[in-house]
Structure 1
Amino acid sequence: MKFDLPKELASIIKVIGVGGGGSNAVNHMFKQGIKGVDFLICNTDRQALDISPVPVKLQLGEALTEGLGAGSQPERGRGAAQENLDEIRQLLGDRTKMVFITAGMGGGTGTGAAPVIASVARELGILTVGIVTMPFQWEGRKRKQQATTGIDEMRDAVDTLLVINNDRLRDLYGNLTLDNAFEHADNVLTTAARGIAEIITMTGKVNVDFEDVKTVMTGSGVAIMGMAESEGEDRALRAAQESLASPLLNDNDIRGAKYVLLNITHGTQEVLMDEINDITDHIQDAAGSSADVIWGYCRDESLGERLRVTVIATG
C-alpha cells in the first residue's frame, strides 16, 4: 500500500492509530484537526482501512491475516507488525522527531502491534508517546487481561505512556449509549494528543518548545495529564483546578512529580499576569515545591473568551 509523504508537507510530529480502537480515534482526530501533525493509521483489517478518511495508511500482516484482522489475538497483531517493519520505518521517515501511538488495549492488532511500532520509533531516536485506553468493564475479563499485558509491553516500548481508563467515562458521564461511550473515549484520546502536540506547534510569547517537551517526556514512564477550559470570573483558577480533575488523570495525583509541563492558551481575551500567577501557583502547590514547572502560553483565536490549561506531569 502506498504511503508517500511529500517532503514539504511532512511534519516533525506524527500521530499513528493502531488497530480498530486506535484507528477510530485517529479518524476522529483527523476530522477535528490538530495543528501541525501528520496522521497515519495501521491496521490488519483491510475493510476498516478502506473506509478511513485518513489519507496515509498501512495494512499490517497481509500475508498473515489476509486483511481480515487479528481475531482479538495479540500474538497475531504482533506478528502482523513484524511482517511490515521496513514499511513502518519508512512511514516514520527522516524528519519525524515525535510520534504518538494510540491504541485501544485488549484486542488483537492494537495490543500486539502498538508495542512493536513503538519499539521501531524509539530505535530511530524518535520521542515516543503512547496514548492507550483500558477497555470498559463490560468488554469482558479476557479483554481486560490482554489489555493489562499490552500496557506493560507499551510501558517498556515508549518514552511516556498515558493510560486512559474507559470506565472513568461511566463515572463522569453516566449511563451512555455504546456509540456515545466510544465517542467520549475518542474525544479523550484526541484531547490528549492535541494537548501535547499543540504545545509544540502553536507559538506563543512565552514558548514551550520541542526541547522542553523532550526534557519532560524522554524515558519518563507513565505520565499524568489533564486539560480544562473555563471562561468568565475566576476562569484561570477554575481551569487550573478542573485540569487536575479531568478524566485523563485517571485518579492519579500530580504530587511528587519531577517535571510538570504547563501550557496556558487564551483566545480573544488576553491572559492577565494575575491569572498566570493563579494558575502557576495552583499547579506548583499541587505538584509540590520540588517539581520543576515548565510553563508557556500561546493564543488560539477559536477559544473566544475561554482560557485553556494543559498539564502534563512526569517522573
Structure 2
Amino acid sequence: MNNLTFSVLTGGYMSINDSEECDRLVVKVVGVGGVGVLALESMIKAKIRGVDFIAVDTEAQALETSSAPIKIRLGVNTTKDGGSGSRPESDRADAEESRQEIGEALKGADVVIIVARMGGCTGTGAVQVIADAAKVSGALMTVGIVTLPFNHEGKIRMETAEEGVRALGKRVDSLIVIPNEGMAAVGSTEQNLLEVLTGDAILTEAVRGITDLLRPRFPAIDPGDIIRVLPSEYPITFGIGEASGHDRALKAAQKAMHPLSRGGVDIAQASDVLVNIAGSSDMTMADYNEVNKFICSKISDDTQIKICFTVDDRLEDKIKVTVYLSKSEPTATIRTENTNYDVPSYLL
C-alpha cells in the first residue's frame, strides 16, 4: 500500500475565491532570457492570478515589447550590442552587475518562481544569480522551472543545459525540468510552432500548477510541504489534465499522467508524488476516489504520495488534476514509442 497523505485545502469549506486567504503569500515570477520573457507574455494573457511578473534579459528590444510591469536589463554597462553572444558566463557576470536591482525587485516575495530555457546564454547564466538573490531577499521558497534544448540544437547546447541545471539545482528549493523534445513528441501535430519551440504553453501551465498549490492559504499545505515532497536534489516532472462530463475525474487524471508516460518517465520508479485535484463546490468524494485509484495504480507501493484538493468555482463542471513526480533513481533516457532521446539521466 502507498504511503498516502490526504490534505483537504478548504479550511472549513472556504474556496480559492476567498481573496483574503489568496493574497497572504507574495509570489513573484521571473522570466529570464528570450524564452523566459516570452513565457511571461503567455502567463499574463492567461491571467494567472496573484502573481507579480518580472522580465529579465540582456536584450533591450525583448524587454521593450514585454508586458511585465517590472523589467530588468542585464549588462547595461558591459553589453553594447544587446546580447552577449553564446557565453553563459558573460550573462552571469551581467546579472552580477545588476544584482542589487534584482534584489530590490524580489524584496518582499514569499515565493520566487524562476522561468528560463537552459542551454542558451541568459537563461543558463543569469538564473543562478537570480536564485541567490531570491534567497538573500528572504523568500520562503524558490522554484526553478526550466526547459531543455531540442536534439537538433546539438550536443554542446545540451551539455551547457546540463551544467546550468546542476548549478541551478544547488540554489533553488524545487526544480522542475521540462525536456522540450519529449513534450513535443507527446503533443499535437497541430500545435502552434512558436509555442512548441519556446515552450510557452507548458511553462505557463507549470507556473499555474505551482500557484494553484500555494493559493489556498490553509495549514494543510505550505511552501515547506512542497519543498519536502519535491526537493531540488531530484528534478521534477509534471503533468496537468482537465476534463468535464462523464468520468471527468478519471479523464483528468489520465490526461495528467499521459505526457509523463508517453514522454518516457518511469512512473513506477517515482520516489515522491504530489497531486492537486481542483474542482468546483460540486466536486464529490467519488471524484477524489477516481483520481486516487488511477494514480496509485501507476506508482509503486514504496512511493510517497501526497494528495490535496482545492475548491475553485471558476472551474464550473470541470475537474483539473496536477501531478508532480520526483525520482531519486532517474532513468537514462526519454523514451517514446518511436524514439529514444539522449537526455541526461539526472534530469528525469
Name the structure 2 match of 1:281.
293
Distance apart, 1:70 and its partner CA: 2.0
Corresponding residue SS for 1:297: strand
**SS at 1:229's partner residue?**
strand
1:194-205 paired onto structure 2 within 5 Å: 194-202=208-216
Relative to structure 1, the CA distance from residue 262 to residue 144 in structure 2 (aligned partners, 3 Å threshold; closer, same or farther) is same
**1:148 partner letter:** E
**Match for residue 161 of structure 1 among 155, 175, 180:** 175
| Whole-angstrom distance in 1 between the partners of 2:288 and 2:296 | 12
**Long gaps (5+) in structure 2:** 1-22, 329-348
Counterpart in 2 of 1:76?
90
CA contact (8 A) 2:175 2:231 kept: no
Match of residue 102 from structure 1: 115
* Conservation of the 8 A alpha-carbon contact between 1:228 and 1:239: yes
Residues 1:114 and 2:127 are matched in the alignment: yes
Q: Offset of 1:140 from its aligned partner?
A: 3.7
CA gap of 1:193–1:177, structure 2 versus 1, over 3 A, is closer
**2:183–2:259 CA contact under 8 A, matched in 1:** no
Of residues 295, 307, 317, the one that matches 1:305 is: 317
Corresponding residue of 1:271:
283
Q: 1:34 to 1:175 in 2, by over 3 A?
A: closer
- Tell me the amino acid that sits aligned with residue 116 of structure 1: V
Q: Secondary structure in 2 aligned to 1:72?
A: coil
- 1:89 aligned counterpart, secondary structure: helix
Over 3 Å counting, the alpha-carbon distance change for 1:72 and 1:177 in structure 2 is: farther
Which of 27, 35, 48 is residue 13 of structure 1 equivalent to? Answer: 27
Is 1:28 aligned to residue 42 of structure 2? yes
User: In the alignment, what sits opposite 2:78?
Assistant: 64
Distance 1:44 1:169 in 2: 28
What is the deviation of 1:120?
2.6
RMSD of equivalent CA atoms: 2.6
SS in 2 for 1:241: helix
AA aligned to 1:235 is R
CA distance 1:247–1:264, change in 2 (3 Å)? same
- Following superposition, the deviation at residue 176 of structure 1 comes to 5.9
Question: What residue in structure 2 maps to residue 4 of structure 1?
Answer: none
Shift in alpha-carbon separation, 1:291–1:198, aligned structure 2, 3 A: same
What aligned pairs does 1:95-244 form with structure 2 within 5 A after superposition? 95-126=108-139, 127-171=141-185, 172-174=187-189, 178-182=193-197, 185-202=199-216, 208-244=221-257
- Tell me the distance in 2 between the aligned counterparts of 1:266 and 1:207: 17
Task: Provide closer, same or farther for how the CA distance between residues 216 and 170 of structure 1 changes in structure 2, counting only shifts above 3 A.
Answer: closer
Work out whether residues 237 and 260 of structure 2, in 8 Å CA contact, stay in contact via their aligned partners in 1.
no
Deviations 1:136-187 (A, max 9, x none): 233344333322222222222222211111122432223766424236x100
SS of the aligned residue for 1:128 comes to: strand
Which residue number in structure 2 is paired with residue 260 of structure 1?
A: 273
For the structure 1 residues 310 and 302, does the alpha-carbon distance in structure 2 shift closer, same or farther, using more than 3 Å as the test?
same
Partner of 1:5: none
Please tell me the residue identity of whatever aligns with 2:311. Answer: R
Q: 1:203 to 1:232 in 2, by over 3 A?
A: farther
- Classify 1:52/1:121 alpha carbon distance in 2 versus 1 (closer, same or farther; 3 Å): same
Does structure 1 retain, via aligned residues, the 8 Å contact 2:269–2:299?
yes
Does the 8 Å CA contact 1:192/1:248 hold for their aligned counterparts? Answer: no
Percent identity between matched residues is 35
Deviation at 1:260, TM superposition (A): 2.4
Unaligned runs of 5+ in 1: 1-8
Distance (whole Å) between structure 1 residues aligned to residue 191 and residue 291 of structure 2? 33
Size of the aligned set, in residue pairs, is: 303
Q: Distance in 1 between matches of 2:254 and 2:110?
A: 32
Deviation at 1:58, TM superposition (A): 0.9
Q: Secondary structure at the match of 2:258?
A: coil
Give yes or no for the alignment of 1:251 onto 2:251.
no
CA distance in 1, matches of 2:115, 2:53: 11
Deviation at 1:254, TM superposition (A): 3.6
Output the TM-score relative to the length of structure 2: 0.78
